[in-house]
Structure 1
Amino acid sequence: MKKPRVLAGTVGTALALLLSACGTGQGAGPGGGAGAGTPDLPVAGTHWTIAAVTVDGTRSVAPSGAGLEFKRNGQVGGNSGCNGFTADVAVKGDTLTVSLGPITLIGCPADRERFERALLKAFTGELRGKLQDRGLTLSSVDGRNTLELTAEADAPLVGTAWTVDALLDGGPEGTASSLPAGSEGKARLTFGKDGRLTGTLGCNRVTAPATITAKTITLGAIGTTRMRCTGPEMALETALYERLDGPLTYRLTHRTLIVTDVDGGGFSATAD
């Protein structure tokens, strides 16, 4: 029997990032950077559910699926509840300057189309941001248009199906490399409420006892089936099995799980 494997972890939430990362705001071009005496709003790397939009005094509640993701490269990915869109954003102090980019052209029901028009009108130009509790409000300079956002919580470690999307090789954070061609989407892992890790490493089914505390996950001996699979699937399985050996650390950010060993080798996975 192999020795138990220990994953020591720290879990960050979108809210914690917002409240603790002052001075780490994003910028797109020269507009980025702190305003005089005002730290940049720490929105980079955060995800939000759109709650409502107010345009010219008329408030519209958002449909399901409407949300924004502020990426770390000064871009935003959004969904109106029907169409997806992108934007560039520069942050200076509490002001976000938004330049809308392309939008998909899916036909929407009338109510969602109306909301989409209001959203795109409110989410452009110079907007003043205000953080409060788990919310972010973006308002036009004249105060006529307002966008109400609610921070999305991290996907829970336990009970979430995680799909491995990259391998990490060496270094403090690990250098990401693509999965073997043809093995994409084949490796999925779930830490169950029953105290077991289950799933597949790319080819064979896998199971192991998993003891979870506030900071660690201890894996017992890993058991697998014995199927013979294609080259890419077996290559991925071998790489992942090696990366589950020894002390591991994990980091959970929104819907991304990063698992690494002491040498920086490991994998990243996305919540289904």
Structure 2
Amino acid sequence: MAVMRGLTIIVFLTICFIFISNSVSAESNLSGAYVVTELRDEESALLFPSDLSRITATFNEMNVSGSAGCNVYSATYNETGDKLTISAPISTLMYCDPGVMESEAQYLKNLEKVTHYKIIGNNLFLFDVGNHPVISLTKPKEEIIIPFPYDTPYILMKIQKDNRYTYAFLAIKTIIEFHPDGSITGNGGCNELSGTYNMTESEITFGPITKTKKACNKSRINQEQMVMDVLKGTVLYEITGDTLFFKDAVGESLAEWKVYQSD
């Protein structure tokens, strides 16, 4: 009798160990940061997000969050084996290019359709109840950390205007700040700015920059628009002491920024 009881306990503990191991393994496999590569619309046709509407998802401790292309979002998820359900996402309310907004809306809608998932190598596939892969993602290649004064506010000193390099209105306090997670924030002098960027050792490529919709005087609006024109596409950059320079492809100056010391 004692032997049987001992065997029962051993079997029970073995089952518990297998269950816990599988749970930990599943969580470890799903956890991480991904970039969306494919989406399907309501007719199961493929949509391919462009580089400027980069959609990301980071799974961590039963939460998924990231960029939906224009706005940042977050949701909770439940995972059992390969079964997966995701709650209705909440997101910010910025507006971007209509094409970006279309992909974003489809992505957020598809998240709620997910019922199970599959991981193949670095690729994550999220399926709906009909076993259609409504979202396909991949883990991005590990990026080299570029030496840069991240999380440092810079105030605009000079900027190109009508093909002339001119001094900015310092009183307007046009400020930008780069963050190591690939986001940029700041103030154009009137509205709050936010967006994304990719950086190499000599270039910065900006994603869509969004802004709030405050009404300000003409001077502020004009300087803000000049900044929005500079924060587009790819610029060359140099850092000398506490000054950050933006230049175009032929080396012409676009903007000059200085580390901002708040009062």
| TM-score over 0.5 for the pair | no
Greater strand fraction, Structure 1 or Structure 2 = 1
Q: Which has the larger radius of gyration?
A: 2
- TM (norm. structure 2) is 0.44
- TM (norm. structure 1) is 0.43
Greater helix fraction, Structure 1 or Structure 2 = 2
